[in-house]
Copies of this chain bind each other. A is one copy, B any other.
Amino acid sequence: MIAIDFTHDPQRESWIDSANEAGTDFPIQNLPFTVFHTGDGDPRIGVGIGDQVLDLRYCAAQGLLDAALVEPAQRQVLNGLMSLEPARRVQLRQAISQWLHVDTSTSQAVLQEGLYPQDAVEFCLPCQIHDYTDFYASIFHATNVGSMFRPNNPLLPNYKHIPIGYHGRASSVVISGTDVVRPVGQKAPAEEGQDPTRSPAALLDYELEVGFYVAQGNPLGSTIPLELAEQHLFGMCLVNDWSARDLQKWEYQPLGPFLAKSFATTVSPWVVTMEALAPFRVPEYQRPDGDPQPLDYLSSPENSASGGVDIQLQVSLLSKQMREKSLPPQSLSQTRFTNMYWTIAQILTHHASNGCNLQPGDLMASGTVSGPERNERGSMLELTWNGDAANPTPGTDRTPLQLPTGEERKFLGDGDELILHGFCENEQYRRIGFGECRGTVQPAR
């Protein structure tokens, strides 16, 4: 696990005033990475600080970085930094923290030249994502979804033994702010024996997820022991795994979700490093009595003690009508990443446990983060219980969502914007945030 050092000191302040304001996602204790351009389409790596982004390519050109860091810091993607030794990443974080500290010995005038207001830049995908894998690691989500479709058998026998996952589509991972076109696809026949139909997805949904990027990878045929898994984690982000439930229902047997997912997956622009998250590591999810212990390759004292990450998550919706009336987004749910049945280290170790080679920049997503309460459900499917008032299940609340405009939602409408937030907060350390992950639904073409 990464050591707590001076960069985490909650008293530490920056000479950039906005980084010291209460409630900022990006105090000097955070320093998330991103990739951005300033309107010219020339992407470079940046670091978030207050309401600014510091151009790391510029800093490298100014001679501020160690020789070994210059080349990876000047790329258009984070993959080079991701593939560094963990100690090098700590070194880079400490250097940046020193530049931005109130008592910096580095010229503020020089650094000032490399700062851009965040609201004046365009964000890009932070890295080349070679492979994207989506998991299913919230037992509350898996139980909710299973209850709708297999009421007598909500959780399959493998769930408590395997971090269930599937390969996702890497090409359609897009950066926050990218519009999402409602997909068209096949839907199950209305009655058995009839032909399926094809039309725009009616049951379009979001999934509130947390993603992590792989740092150093492993060669094909080798594995990553759980004890070493944390060294292979670079940082975390927010993920919206847009899902077309009607397409999924018809296509997904026997080989899993495909076109119901591959039309878009949105990631947040900021990658919050594992170094920044060190003060927010918590014990793994406490499995209820009677649940099986994971097999040996998924068990370690360190994972039990600090494999969790205490991220608080929020999702909200802004409809077209709400936007036109200048209403604020409506909160749909709030949950915590501590609700996950599997830790990110277990997920990574399992992924490589068959000899599968991981590569720097691979993206793994948690699956929908849902908690035990109704207001902790991370998808519309769960919030409106499949929007299916005709098929009630005892104890579930199937009222459609009411928006302040009088609109109702069982699933997403055209023009709806979904906004994910995440942050870490505890009594001892400075609050850090993940920024936003946004996307607006456009009508089917």
User: 1/0 per residue A165-200: CB within 8 Å of B?
Assistant: 111111110100001010111101100100110100
| Contact call A195/B358, Cβ cutoff below 8 A | no
- Whether A181 and B131, one on each chain, are in contact in the complex, defined by CB atoms closer than 8 angstroms, is no
A186 touches B169 (CB 8 A): no
Q: Please tell me which one of the listed residues B157, B167, B351 contacts residue A166 in the complex, with CB atoms under 8 A apart.
A: B167
Q: Are A158 and B251 in contact (CB under 8 A)?
A: yes
State whether A254 and B170 are in contact (beta carbons under 8 Å apart), knowing that A186-B162, A353-B259 are contacts in the complex.
Answer: no
Q: For the complex formed, measure the closest distance between the CB of A187 and the CB atoms of chain B, giving whole angstroms.
A: 10
A205 to B257: give the CA distance in the assembly, Å: 24
Q: Are B156 and A253 in contact (CB under 8 A)?
A: yes
Within the complex, the shortest CB–CB distance from A83 to chain B, in Å, comes to 14
Query: Nearest Cβ in chain B — how far from A332, in angstroms?
Result: 24
Task: State the CA gap A264–B256 with chains docked (Å).
Answer: 20
Q: Are A353 and B255 in contact (CB under 8 A)?
A: no
A221 at the interface (CB under 8 A from B): yes
Given A222-B445, A356-B172, are A255 and B253 neighbors across the interface (CB < 8 Å)? Answer: no
A264-B220, A354-B185 in contact; A169/B172 too (CB < 8 A)? no
**When chains A and B are docked, how far (Å) is the Cα of A52 from the Cα of B351?**
40
A63 within 8 A of B: no
Interface size class of A (residues with CB under 8 A): 35 or more
A257 touches B259 (CB 8 A): no
Report the bound CA distance from A198 to B253 in whole Å: 26
User: Assuming A164-B258, A259-B353, A262-B354, what are 13 further A-B pairs, CB within 8 angstroms?
Assistant: A131-B170, A156-B254, A157-B192, A158-B186, A164-B251, A165-B255, A171-B362, A174-B220, A181-B355, A186-B295, A198-B295, A223-B445, A263-B355
Render A341-368 as a binary contact track against B, CB cut-off 8 A, 1 for contact: 0000000001101111111001000000
Jot down 5 A-B pairs with beta carbons below 8 A, ordered by A: A166-B167, A167-B169, A252-B256, A254-B256, A259-B356
Chain B residue at minimum C-beta to C-beta distance from A197: B295
The reply on A124 being an interface residue by CB < 8 A is no
The docked-state distance in angstroms from the alpha carbon of A255 to that of B156 is 11
A142 to B227, alpha carbons, bound, how many Å? 41
Residues B165 and A258 in contact, CB atoms below 8 Å apart = yes
Residue A280 lies at the interface, judged by CB distance under 8 Å to chain B:
no
Asked, given contacts A161-B186, A166-B256, A297-B198, whether A172 binds B220 with beta carbons under 8 Å apart, the answer is yes
Contacts of A356 in B (CB 8 A): 169, 171-172, 259, 262-263
Output the residue of A136, A165, A220, A250 with the most chain B CB within 10 A. Answer: A220
Distance (Å) between the CB of A168 and the closest chain B CB?
6
Asked if A244 CB lies within 8 Å of chain B CBs, one says yes
Q: Contacting A169 at CB < 8 Å: which of B131, B156, B255?
A: B131
Q: Does A287 contact B (CB under 8 A)?
A: no
- Measured between beta carbons, the chain B residues less than 8 angstroms from A362 are 171
Docked complex Cα distance between A144 and B203 (Å): 34
Contact call A292/B258, Cβ cutoff below 8 A: no
A255-B254 contact, Cβ under 8 Å, with A131-B170, A166-B167, A172-B357: no
Chain B: CB-nearest residue to A295: B198
If A157-B192, A253-B156 touch, does A359 touch B171 (CB 8 Å cutoff)? yes
Contact A181 B221 (CB under 8 A): yes
Residues of B within 8 A of A247 (CB): 354
B residues within 8 A CB of A88? none
CB of A323 within 8 A of chain B? no
Closest to A356 in B: B262
Known contacts A158-B196, A161-B186, A262-B356; A136/B255 CB under 8 A: yes
| A171 cross-chain contacts in B, Cβ below 8 A | 130-131, 220, 356-359, 362
Which residue of A164, A221, A251, A445 has the most chain B CB atoms within 10 A of its CB atom? A221
> Within 8 Å CB of A353, what residues of B?
184-185, 259
Given known contacts A170-B170, A256-B257, A244 and B354 CB-to-CB distance under 8 angstroms: yes
Give min CB distance, A202 to chain B, whole Å. Answer: 14
